[in-house]
Structures are given as C-alpha cells and as structure tokens.
Structure 1
Amino acid sequence: MSTATVLDKKPASQPAPGGRRKMSLPMVMIVVAAVLALTSVVRMITGADGITNVSQMSTALQLAVPIGLAGLGGLWAERSGVVNIGLEGMLILGTWFGAWAGYQWGPWVGVLAGIIGGAIGGLLHAVVTVTFNVNHIVSGVAINILALGATRYLAKFAFEGVQANGAVGTTKQSPPVHSLGHITVPGLSDWLTTLNEKHWFLISDIAGLLGGLVTDLSPLTLIALALIPFTWWVLWRTPFGLRLRSCGENPIAAESLGVNVIKYKYLAVIISGGLAGLGGAFLSIVANPFYLEGQTAGRGYIGLAAMIFGNWLPGGLALGAGLFGYTDSLNLRGGTENVHALLLLVALLLVAGAVWTLLKRKYVAGVVCVVAAAAMAAWYLTTNDVPTQLVTATPYIATLLVLSLSAQRLRMPRANGQPYRKGQGK
C-alpha cells in the first residue's frame, strides 16, 4: 500500500460523487471560446465596444489578482483539510503590513511584509484549528474580526501625522508607497490595441483579451500569474503535494503511512495566509499605492467563492477570479452601458443552458433557464440603461449566481473541515 492510495480512499459516511466526469482541458477551451464568440455577437449587436477592449481587460486582470491570490490561499488550506474563512482577515493584514513597510523601506520590502502579515494570520488559524480543534468557521470569522480591529488600532499610531513620500498619513490612510513599475510588451501591445479597435468579429475580442495580458502589467501581477501553474505542479506533481492532499482526503490513512498530518496542515495554512497576504500587499502597493481602511471590500470572500467555483483546482480558480475581476471592472470603468449589454449576453447563455439541460432530459432545469432567459431578454429590450446600484453590485451578484449554478458539480476534499487528532486511527 502506497501513499497514493490515500487519495482513493474515502470515509464510509460520504458517498461517491454521483458519477460526474470532470471537464477535460479541450472541452474547457471550447466552452471559453464559445462564450467569447457570444460576447462578440453581443458587442456587435449592442455597440458596447467597451466590454472587450484592452483597457477593460487590463483593469479586469488587475482586479482579479487579489481575488485569485486569496482563492489560491484557500486552495492550499482546504486541500490539507482546513477550511479557511479567514482569508478576508489575512488580506487585511497584508494590506496594512505591506503599506506600513512599503512607504518606509520600499515596495518590495512591503510585498515581503505583506506576505509575513498574512502568514501570521494563517499561523494563528492553524494553531486554533489544528492544535486546539476549534471549529474552522468560528476561527476564520474570529480572525476576520480580529484583523479588522487590530489594523484599525495600529493605523492610528503608525500612520496618523506621519509625513512620507510627499503626503501625510491619517488614522485611516497611510502615506503613499512608491510604485513597483509597469511592464508593457513593446510592439505587441500596440498591435493588439490597433486590432482591437477595428471591432472585427471575434478577432478584435481576442486581441482585447490578449492585449490586457501584455499592457501595463505590474511585476507582482506576473508573479501572481506564475503562482497558478506553480501551485498545480507542487500539489499534483510532487511527493510533497501528494502528502498534503492526502491530509485533506483521509488524514487517518495518511498518518498510518507515515505522513506527519499536523505538520502538513500547519504548512498549508501558513502558506495559505502568506498568499492572501500577498494579495493584500497587491491592493495597497499596486492597485492603490497606500493602505486604506476597508480596502479589501470583501475580496477574501469572493476569492473563497472563486476557489469553490473552480472545484478546488488552480485552473478553475483562475477562471473564477477572472470572471469576478471582469464584473468588478465594469463598475470602475463607467459600466452602465456595458452591464446593460451583458443582460443580452446572460439571456443568450441561459438559452444555451436551456438547450443543454433539455438534451440531458432535465426538464425542470430547462424550463427554469427558458423563463430566466425570457426575463433577461425582456429587461434588455424594454430598457436603455441599468441602475448604477446594479453596476456596483454586479461582482457580488455574479458570485451568488455562479455558485448557485455550479454547486451540483462540486466535490471538496473529503476530510475538509473535519477535526483531527494525532493517533486518531489507533
């Protein structure tokens, strides 16, 4: 019996997941291409060229990074069997520590301090949940509250009246942090922008998407993007990752094979906090070059939703973070016209969903999709605009809709959230 067999074993109390097959990478790419084609059709019908231009995609990528880093932190923790609701608090710690160190010693020191700040939150969560077996949800909520209160208290002493980098800090805002700089691929960025501005079917939309990936990138964005495949490689292609995932699937069996379950849980949760702290540092150094109270705006929770949407897999998490970042970017770039156009896109996607569910003989779900598609189409045809409140709420509405529609195909690690004590299986 080898360590790999741990991932194939499941507790008797949990049935097998309904026989659903995972979508292969080619199928995922086909689905993404189909959605992009539908988006292009909607753009040409509505004239809302902003939904796929380079600036929109570049903003969406910047907004997706902290969400993706928080979700990646949740992935590390939950693959080891520890639920991490405290991602929001760890993001908050990352913003404060990143700005505090960044305005004094430079942005890269701020990035390191943000990682350390988040890791401290992760260590606290590990001590409470792994060592003392406190309920994971209770511990995470407590960390969120504690981080908010602690940073609010510390900001009063660390930032108020402090003059640095040409500005004075306040009780709710730090002095500014110097920029890390931006990277643009010369030639390629201009060519893709020109191609995007021609507004051709699909080609210009693809150019807008790719242009956003090579225009005005922060070095921290490149690091965040690289962490997605790196996490996949570590967790699914190394012995370390196999042992860590075994702790989240069947810790008793893993212990019987010599895996130090407590050590791996601690490492995973500390790494989880460090990644969330990196996301917080991104917010206070790159997205806005200063700490500001309330800066995270619930991105830790949205990152958790992106992780769940991605079925606890790095690739799915990246797609989820991109989706939520895109919907958030609509708000920042004057998105009433764009959100109105997206009503038509949602209607078309619901029609496609209705056809798919009816072919699968899921008649109730198919009828629901048809009714929802008709409602969205009627909303689009009978209005010329949407309320600004809807634009602001779009990322949160998208979070709820995506989780509701994807809930049935999800499978979390089998021992996720379950209490564990050393020697439990003896």
Structure 2
Amino acid sequence: MATVTDATLKQPAGRPAKRFRLTWPWMLIILAGALCLVSLVRLITGADDITSVGQVSAALRLAVPIGLAGLGGLWSERAGVVNIGLEGMMILGTWFGAWAGYQWGPWTGVAFGIIGGILGGLLHAVATVTFGVNHIVSGVAINILALGATKYLSKFTFQESGGSAKQSPSIERIDTVTLPGLSDWMKTLNGKHWFLVSDIAGFAGGVVTGISLLTILAIALIPATWYLLWRTPFGLRLRSCGENPHAAESLGVNVYKYKYVAVIVSGALAGLGGYFLADAAGIYQEGQTGNRGYIGLATMIFGNWLPGGTALGALLFGYTDSLNVRSGGDNVHALLLLLVILLALAVVWQLYKRKPVPAVFTAVVAALLLWWYLATDQVPSQFVAMAPYVTTIVVLALFSKRLRMPKADGLPYRKGEG
C-alpha cells in the first residue's frame, strides 16, 4: 500500500520538476565565468584587443540601439502585442530625429526621434488592438511604410537643405562623458595584459571613456523597465494583459488602454534607438538602421522577455559586431578557441545529463572548430561579417527550449468575448 510522504505532497505525481530560473546572482556568476574564459583565451592567443578599452567602448555603442529596440519589443509583447514593426519605428525615429536635430539641436532631435517612433507605435496599436489586424501583417506593413515615407520626405527636406535624397545635413552630436582619472587608470591596467585584472579594467574603461549621454540614458532604462513592469501595480496589470487578458478584464483592467500604452512606449524606445544611430554617425543615411529592429526582437527572445536578458543579448550582438568593425578576422579567429572550450564544457554537461547523442554531435563540432583554428591564422572576412548574425541564430537555437513567451502574445482580444 502506497504511503503519502512530505515529498509527494510537495511534488505531486505528473507535475514537472521546478525549472531552473536565470536569476541575477546566476547571471553574475555566468558573466564572471565567461570573463575568466575570455581572459584565458586572450593569454593563449595573444589577441589582446578582444578586451581592450576601445573594443568594449565600440561594443557598447553598437549594442545600445539594439538593446533599445529589444526593450521596445519587450514592452509590447508583455502586453500581448507582437511588434515586428520595430524596424520601421527605428527608421521613423532616425529620420524625424535627424530632421529636427540639424535644425534645432541634438536634444530636440532626441524628442522628435521618440515622436517618430511613437507615430509608428500608435499606428501599430490602432491596427492590431482596435481593428484586430494580424500583428505580423501590421508590423511588416509599418516597416514598408516607414521605408517608403522617409525616402519620399527626404527628397524635399534634406535635398533642399544641403543634404541629398539619401542623407541629411550634418547633425550636432550629443556630448560624451569621460572620467579622466579613472579612465586613464583603467587604460594603464588594461595595457599590462594581466590575467583577468586587465580584462576587467578593459570592460570598466570602456564604460567610463567617451560614453554618450544617450548611452547612459539607455542603460538607465533597463532597471527602470524592470521596476515598472515587475514592481508596480501598473506593470502587473500590463503583464496580465499579455498572459490572460480576459482574466484581467474580469478584474476591472482596461485591457485596450494598457495595450495601447505598451505599444506606444515600444515605439518610443525604438525611435530613441533609431536616433542614437543618427547621433553616433553625425548624419542620417538611408538604410542606417541595418535591420537592427529585427535583431532587437531576437535579443528580446534570447533574453526570455526579461530586461536583463535582453540587455545581455544586445551586448553579445554588439560585441561580435564590434569585432568586425574594429579588427576583422584576427580577433574572431582567437574567439574560435573560446567557442571550442565552451563546446567542450557543453559535452561534459550533456554526458552528466546522460544525453550521449547530443554529446557526440557537440564533440564533433568542437573537433572541427579546433581543426579550423589550428589549421588557419585568420578567419575569412565574409565569416567575420556574418559572425553577429550567426551568433544570434546559434544562441536562439541553444536556448529555445528554456524560453517562455507571454501566453496571450499575438492572440486577438475582444472585450466581453472571454
């Protein structure tokens, strides 16, 4: 006769075991481990630039617009609205911000960049929330509309003001901040090339050297988003609209209002990310966003619809992209060894979990990469350009089973139909 124990009360039959959650302490442990591995690879390969102050500064600069787009997607999808239109909203933010920026100054450009993104977000909200248009169709339409509208507007604005149909006149850039004493000290430590200490100095130096005020604002938006959505009644109501809007409606929540607010904030963040690109270049150019809206959406998924995870995804993409921008194949070749080590650790983990088939497959891939690393001195330039996108695809493939989107994300909602 079966007996009932405390264990069976705590874990009923048929209920899956509690899944591992990526909390802040675990994220810090993972970051520390990754930094140790990168430092070890740097010492072995001699590729000192992979953790230099300049490399980290470039990575942060490239990560900001992607991270802002990812945060925008997070706001929208937490309320149950899929926002494929982030790319179009970034385009509108870039164009409107540049148009205002060259006439009235950079901070006016910031305001108009946000307004441009809001216009795209409002259009998406009207289409999806009010009229029930398919979210994917609406987002793609906004991307196409934004691209066409900015091309048309550029012909009789920028072209008549000293620019051309494809680019604006020069824009005054927003001020950057450098902490003189700390910055110089970090550069000195980074130049010593010591294990771990110099790498930490490189990352710290990249944060305190030539950082834009817009970058500081973008970083501040990460904890602000977490606090608003997870620690306030407003955030609880908004997230309930993405999990079970009919239950939220039964509790008196105005679901339409919260969806509108979320999508408009999403557009504002994407528009700010768009203007950041124009400010970094000092000019607006056609095609300037470079599909970063889509990459922002991918980083949001990689981050499991959480602000911290989205930021990590944006930093990962920004770092791999900065390798291409700064030094090309040498650093990417060095990081092949890092990938081999990570795959070796994955093999050990899979064997521990008694998954022999995935372990064998991973071991074969690791062996091929090790052969590639030993047989060559440099990675082809084409692969270097592909590295950020390949990294995104690989990361999403590896972590897809651990992701959980809001339950009502993308589902149509009509008041009273629950």
Provide the TM-score with structure 2 as the length reference.
0.95
Residue 139 of structure 1 corresponds to 138
Rounded Cα–Cα distance in structure 1 between residues aligned with 2:411 and 2:122: 18
**Which of 210, 217, 235 is matched with 2:204 structurally?**
210
1:326-345 mapped onto 2 (5 Å cutoff): 326-345=319-338
**Which of 148, 157, 181 is matched with 2:175 structurally?**
181
Rounded Cα–Cα distance in structure 2 between residues aligned with 1:133 and 1:368: 45
Q: Which amino acid aligns with 1:268?
A: A
1:214-293 mapped onto 2 (5 Å cutoff): 214-285=208-279, 287-293=280-286
Residue 11 of structure 2 corresponds to none
Name the SS of the counterpart of 2:173 in structure 1: coil
1:17–1:411 Cα contact (<8 Å) kept: no
User: How far did 1:209 drift?
Assistant: 0.7
1:115-194 mapped onto 2 (5 Å cutoff): 115-162=114-161, 168-194=162-188
Residue 3 of structure 2 corresponds to none
Gaps of 5+ in 1: 1-14, 163-167
Are residues 1:79 and 2:78 paired?
Answer: yes
Name the SS of the counterpart of 1:178 in structure 2: coil
Write out per-residue CA displacement over residues 278-329 of structure 1, whole angstroms, 9 at most, x where no aligned residue: 00010011x2111100101111011001100000000001100000000110
Bigger shift: residues 147-156 or 221-230: 147-156
1:58-137 mapped onto 2 (5 Å cutoff): 58-137=57-136
Rounded Cα–Cα distance in structure 2 between residues aligned with 1:30 and 1:384: 32
Residue 353 of structure 1 corresponds to 346
Percent identity among equivalent residues? 68
| Divergent runs of 4+, >4 A | 15-19
Rounded Cα–Cα distance in structure 2 between residues aligned with 1:183 and 1:364: 51
Rounded Cα–Cα distance in structure 1 between residues aligned with 2:365 and 2:326: 27
The structure-2 alpha-carbon separation of the partners of 1:323 and 1:84, relative to structure 1 and needing over 3 Å to count, comes to same
Bigger shift: residues 72-81 or 394-403: 394-403
Q: Which amino acid aligns with 2:178?
A: T
Bigger shift: residues 17-26 or 226-235: 17-26
Write out per-residue CA displacement over residues 175-199 of structure 1, whole angstroms, 9 at most, x where no aligned residue: 0111111101121111011000100
Write out per-residue CA displacement over residues 77-108 of structure 1, whole angstroms, 9 at most, x where no aligned residue: 00000000110111111100010000000000
Q: Which amino acid aligns with 2:368?
A: A
1:28-39 mapped onto 2 (5 Å cutoff): 28-39=27-38
Are residues 1:303 and 2:296 paired?
Answer: yes
Rounded Cα–Cα distance in structure 1 between residues aligned with 2:290 and 2:25: 35
Name the SS of the counterpart of 1:154 in structure 2: helix
Q: Which amino acid aligns with 2:382?
A: Q
Q: Which amino acid aligns with 1:194?
A: T
Q: Which amino acid aligns with 2:275?
A: A
Name the SS of the counterpart of 2:132 in structure 1: coil
User: How far did 1:367 drift?
Assistant: 1.7
Gaps of 5+ in 2: 1-13
The structure-2 alpha-carbon separation of the partners of 1:318 and 1:16, relative to structure 1 and needing over 3 Å to count, comes to farther
Write out per-residue CA displacement over residues 23-75 of structure 1, whole angstroms, 9 at most, x where no aligned residue: 23222211111111111111111111110000000000000000000000000
Rounded Cα–Cα distance in structure 2 between residues aligned with 1:350 and 1:129: 42
Write out per-residue CA displacement over residues 367-386 of structure 1, whole angstroms, 9 at most, x where no aligned residue: 22211111111110011111
Rounded Cα–Cα distance in structure 2 between residues aligned with 1:16 and 1:341: 45
Aligned residues: 405
Q: What is the root-mean-square deviation of aligned Cα atoms in Å? A: 1.3
User: How far did 1:254 drift?
Assistant: 0.1
User: How far did 1:334 drift?
Assistant: 2.1
User: How far did 1:19 drift?
Assistant: 4.3
Q: Which amino acid aligns with 1:331?
A: N
Provide the TM-score with structure 1 as the length reference.
0.93
Name the SS of the counterpart of 1:317 in structure 2: helix
The structure-2 alpha-carbon separation of the partners of 1:256 and 1:105, relative to structure 1 and needing over 3 Å to count, comes to same
1:401-412 mapped onto 2 (5 Å cutoff): 401-412=394-405
Rounded Cα–Cα distance in structure 2 between residues aligned with 1:258 and 1:233: 23
Rounded Cα–Cα distance in structure 1 between residues aligned with 2:142 and 2:18: 37
Q: Which amino acid aligns with 2:250?
A: S
Rounded Cα–Cα distance in structure 1 between residues aligned with 2:22 and 2:73: 22
Rounded Cα–Cα distance in structure 2 between residues aligned with 1:207 and 1:54: 8
Q: Which amino acid aligns with 1:384?
A: D
**Which of 378, 389, 393 is matched with 2:382 structurally?**
389
User: How far did 1:365 drift?
Assistant: 2.0
